[in-house]
Chains A and B, each alone.
Chain A
Amino acid sequence: MRLTDEERAMLAGERGEPRRWAMDHMLKVGAMFDAEDFVPVAQAHMMVDPESVGEAGVRFLEGLAAHNEADRRVAVPMITDPRGVDLNHYRPLGQTEAMADLERRTIKALTRLGILMTNTCINYQTIMPPVMGEHMAYGDTGVVIYCNSVCGARSNFEGGPSALAAGLTGRTPRYGLHLDENRRATRRFIVRHQPRGLVEWGALGAIVGRLAGSYWEVPVIEGIETVPGSDELKHLGAAMASFGSTPLFHLVGITPEAPTLDAVGGTALAAHEITEADFASLTASYGSKGDPVDVVVFAAPQLSLVEMQRVADLVAGHQRYPETAMLVCTSPAVYADATRLGLVDTIEAFGAKVLEGTCFYNQYAREIGEANGWTRLLSNSAKIVNILGGYGYQPALRSAEDCVRAARTGRIP
C-alpha cells in the first residue's frame, strides 16, 4: 500500500504504540483486499459488547488505554454500539457480576481512549447521520447498510478492532465500499407485494439478504410504490445485513445512488420477483398461531422515539400476561426523551422493562435465556429471530401489534 509520511510515522511507532498497532492491523486487512492506499474517515463507530470481546479483548483494550493521553486518544469522533449489560438492570435478567465487571472495565478503557459512549446502533437516527459521499468506519451491520444505502455514505463492515484502528488513525484502507466499482448493483429484485409495517420491511430484507447471500453482492430493488420512512428502511437494512451479510442496497427512485435502475448498472441484470408468498413463507418459518411465548422482545435495531411511542400506544391500559416477559431496548438518547415524555412509564406500567443502551442479542442472550427459562421468543425484528436460533431459542416473527397481544395473552395470536 502507498503510505503518506504521516502513515509511515504511525507505522514506525512515532505516534505511539496504539497507532502503530492500528496501522499494522489495517495493513494486514488492506493487503487481503488489495487496498492501494488509505482514505480519511470522518467518524468511527465500534461494536464492543463484552460477550463478544471477552476477557482477552478487554485486556487488549486496557493495554491500549494504559498509554499516555497523547498516544491513546482517538483522532476522529468515535462512538459505540449497544452495550451488553444495562448496569441499572442486570441482576433481574440473570446477568452476573462477572459480566457487569467486564462491562465496567470496557467502559473505563474506552472512555480513556476518548470514545463517546453513545451505546447505540441507531446513531443515524439519534446522533449524527452521515452526508452523501462521506467516508466512515462504522461497526454494526445495520448502521453500515443504512448509512451506505439511505445516506450514500461509504463504509465497510468494520468489526470492533478495525473500527478502533480507524478511530486511532483517522483513516481506513480504501477497499470494498469505499470504491465506486463495488457500489454498483449485482442482483436485481422486483417486489410484487408492498411491505406493510416494520415486520414486513424486515421480512423483505430477510428475503433479499438470503438470496443475495454475500458481502460482495449489491441488491437493487424495484417496485416499491411509496417512499418508506426511516424506521422502515432501518428494519429493511438490518434484516438484509443479518441474513445476507449485505452492506449496501439500492431502491430505485428512492435511495440517493439509484435515481434510475441504469444509474447503478442494473438494467442488464436478470430480475428476480418477490411475491406475497415469499413473505408468507418467511413468516411461517418463525412460529405458529397459538404457540406459547416466554419472552417478547422489541430490539435489533434499538427503537427510535417513534417506535417507543408506538409500543406505548399498543400497551397503554393493558396488563402483561404474568408468564410472558417483555423487553424493549433503546439507546440512551431515546431513553432520556422517552422517559421525559412518559413513554417509559407507560410501557413499564404494562409490565414490560425498557433497557437503556443495550440490545437483546448482544447481552449474553444464551445465559439470560437459561437464567429465565426463555426459549420461545417473539419479536417484530427479522434480524433478531435470525440471530437467536444459534443461541438456543425458538424464535418467532410477528407484527408489533401481535407481539403486544402475545405479551397480554401468552400465545401468538
Chain B
Amino acid sequence: MRLELACHQGIGPKVEGKALVSADNFSARYDLDRLQGIFSRPEHALFGQSYVGKVLVCNTAKGGVATAWMLHEMASRGMAPKAILFNHANTILAQGAALADMALCDRFADGDITKLIETGDHVTVDPGRGIVLVERSG
C-alpha cells in the first residue's frame, strides 16, 4: 500500500525512515530519557520504546520550551528521531527543528496523522514540498 499525504510546508531536510506512532503528545523534556534514547515517562503510550532514527508521529507538542534546545543536542549525538510529524506542532517544536535541521511537518489535509500512519510503515518526509509518502508492506 502506498499513500501520499499533503501537509503544511514544514522545516528541515527530506528524510525517510520507519514510523513510530502514538496518539499521545510529545515533549523532549517531559517524556524522554535522552541519554538512552527511549520514552521514559511511564504514562506515555510509547513508554520504553526507542525513538532513535525513527519518524516519530504524535498528536501535538506539549510542555515547555526546553525541546527547542534538546532536539539539537540529541541530533549532535546521533540520538534523535529522523523526523517528527504532528497533527499540530507548537512554536517550540518548529524552532527546535530549525536549529537541529530536523524534518518536521504538521497540519495534514487527510485528517488525523496518528491514524493515517502505523508503526513500522516506511515513511518519506519532504518538508519543503509539504508531502509525506507512506509505504506499508503486506
Contacts and interface: CB of A to CB of B under 8 A. Distances in A.
Mutual binders A and B:
yes
Interface of A: 25, 28-29, 31-33, 47-49, 52-57, 60, 139-141, 156-162, 176, 213-216, 241-245, 362, 366, 386-387, 389-392
Contacts of B70: 52, 54
A241 to B, nearest CB: 7
Contacts of A141: 63-65
Interface in B37-71: 40-44, 60-70
B88 A215 contact: yes
Main secondary structure, interface of A, reads: helix
A101 B11 CA distance: 33
Chain B interface, DSSP helix/strand/loop, else mixed: mixed
Given A140-B65, A141-B65, A245-B60, A33 B94 contact: yes
A176 B91 contact: yes
Given A33-B91, A160-B68, A215-B90, A56 B73 contact: yes
A242 B90 contact: no
9 smallest CB-CB distances across A and B, nearest first, come from: A159-B68, A54-B73, A56-B76, A390-B41, A215-B90, A52-B69, A162-B95, A52-B66, A28-B98
A60 to B, nearest CB: 7
Contacts of A162: 68, 91, 95, 98
Interface of B: 8-11, 25, 27, 29-33, 40-44, 60-70, 72-73, 75-77, 88-92, 94-96, 98-99, 104
Nearest to A209: B62
A214 B88 contact: yes
Contacts, number: 141
Nearest to A57: B69
Contact of B29 (A52, A140, A161, A213): A52
A28 B73 contact: no
Most chain B CB neighbours (cut-off 10 Å) among A60, A159, A214, A241? A159
A124 B41 CA distance: 31
A55 B34 CA distance: 14
A242 B73 contact: no
B50 to A, nearest CB: 15
A47 B99 CA distance: 15
Contacts of A213: 25, 60, 62
A215 B77 CA distance: 29
A159 B43 contact: no
9 contacts: A28-B11, A47-B64, A49-B66, A54-B69, A54-B70, A157-B90, A242-B64, A243-B62, A245-B63
